[in-house]
Structure 1
Amino acid sequence: MEIKLWNGLDAHLEATVGVSLATFQALAAIRSTAGSARVQDISVKMSITVGATSKLVDRLERDGLAVRSANPTDRRSSIVALTQTGATTVAAAEAAAESHLAGMLGDILPGQEATRLLVQLTALQDYDIITTNRS
């Protein structure tokens, strides 16, 4: 079911907004850190390697969705910030994703259950279970 949801959402985002699900997730990760983040921050939020994140950020820059600049507090890293196009794109992709998933899950889950599930999944995604020790 997860693969079906992922592939369906990826295709829907490509068709309606013109971005992949991975691009949407990267833009959302940057937005969640007040609109700018280090590559490492994006990597942690997306649970992918720094190398893969760097290549993804290269594509965001190429597409005019984000820009890199020198990190004023750490010369070894750079800051990735959303462009105005990136901010507009992530908002449009978020609306399209929520609508699509609610439509897909609405047939399975009654009433507001689909919306509640999406809220819970977002909360889980934002919760870093790898670095948080709950013992």
Structure 2
Amino acid sequence: MSHVTPAFVDLVRVETRLYGAVNTRLRAEQGLGLGQFEFLEIIDRVPDCRVLDLVAEVAITVGAVSKAVDRLVEAGWCRRVAHPGDRRSSLLRLTPEGEARLAAARPVVEAELAALTASVPPEDLTRLAATLAALRAELEAAQGS
């Protein structure tokens, strides 16, 4: 077994457990899932956000993202508006309800992540974040994302 395999296995298991715990708390306290939160956060953060921006950010298919956005629209948390320069595309905007949901959800996500990682020294988390950011950038560059 290579030295990378145990790190990969741990990374996947940690991500799964963190995601599950944050998702459970967020659903219980705010009535939305972590995936919905992530999409609302990206729509809020990315100027003139389109479905393709979400695809690039979360690395899932256009169809899956489009269906997820449809559910956000149905929930009243975002809307699609005509793209002024591209008739085939639309821009995504948070509704006031979506903005309120996102604002209420952010501290829940932050608090749960802080609680789950409290035993890890801050400098270790900083180093881990930098390492993961570098690896992500390298992988995205290799895939042309």
Q: Distance in 1 between matches of 2:44 and 2:138?
A: 17
What per-residue deviation string (whole Å, max 9, x for no partner) do you get for residues 16-56 of structure 1?
1111010001011111113x411111111111111100000
Root-mean-square deviation (CA, aligned residues, Å) is 2.7
Task: Check 1:4–1:92 CA distance in 2 against 1; reply closer, same or farther (3 A cut).
Answer: same
The percent of aligned pairs where both chains have the same amino acid is 35
Q: SS at 1:130's partner residue?
A: helix
Are 2:102 and 1:90 aligned? yes
Matched residue type, 1:130: E
Task: Provide the residue aligned with 2:7 in structure 1.
Answer: none
User: Which of 9, 18, 43 matches 2:31?
Assistant: 18
1:44 and 2:56 correspond: yes
Question: Given the alignment of the two structures, is residue 76 of structure 1 paired with residue 91 of structure 2, yes or no?
Answer: no
Aligned to 2:120: 109
**1:45·1:128 contact (CA, 8 Å) conserved in 2?**
no
The residue type equivalent to 2:71 in the other structure is R
State the aligned residue count: 129
**Superposition pairs of residues 29-68 of structure 1, within 5 angstroms:** 29-34=42-47, 36-68=48-80
Structure 2 residue runs without a partner (length 5+): 1-13
Larger radius of gyration: 2
Whole-angstrom CA distance in 2 between matches of 1:79 and 1:122: 30
One-letter identity of the residue aligned with 1:53: V
More helix by share: 2
Name the CA shift for 1:57/1:128 in 2 (closer, same or farther; >3 Å): farther
Q: CA deviation at 1:91?
A: 2.0
